[in-house]
């Protein structure tokens, strides 16, 4: 599983990355976390508001920082 945090590296982007790392750890997932900061790549994924979260190339969250439980739900259901 590849999980991507999309954003320029702002505070909200870093918060989403930290929350996502915790969710991955709590669920003991075999996942790779990537931070995507390139605007062209972010826009190419259809994201116009950051931070965003993508799982295996599919954007599942845009423009907000959820709590750990919400990220766990996204990681286990993809929705």
77 belongs to the catalytic site: no
**CA dist., res. 29 & res. 44, Å (int):** 27
13 belongs to the catalytic site: yes
The two three-digit tokens of residue 9, written as one number: 């590296």
Please return the burial class of 49, using the count of CB atoms within 10 Å of its CB with bins 0-12, 13-18 and 19+. Answer: exposed
Active-site pick, 3, 6, 13, 23: 13
Active-site pick, 1, 2, 9, 10: 10
- Strands 52-55 and 58-62: what pairing? antiparallel
Catalytic residue positions, numbered: 10, 13
């Amino acid at each position: 599983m590849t999980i991507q945090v999309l954003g320029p590296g702002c505070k909200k982007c870093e918060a989403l990355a930290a929350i996502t790392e915790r969710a991955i750890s709590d669920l003991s997932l075999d996942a790779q976390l990537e931070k995507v900061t390139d605007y062209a790549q972010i826009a190419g994924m259809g994201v116009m508001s950051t931070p965003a979260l993508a799982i295996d190339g599919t954007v599942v969250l845009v423009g907000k920082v959820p709590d750990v439980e919400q990220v766990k739900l996204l990681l286990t259901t993809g929705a």
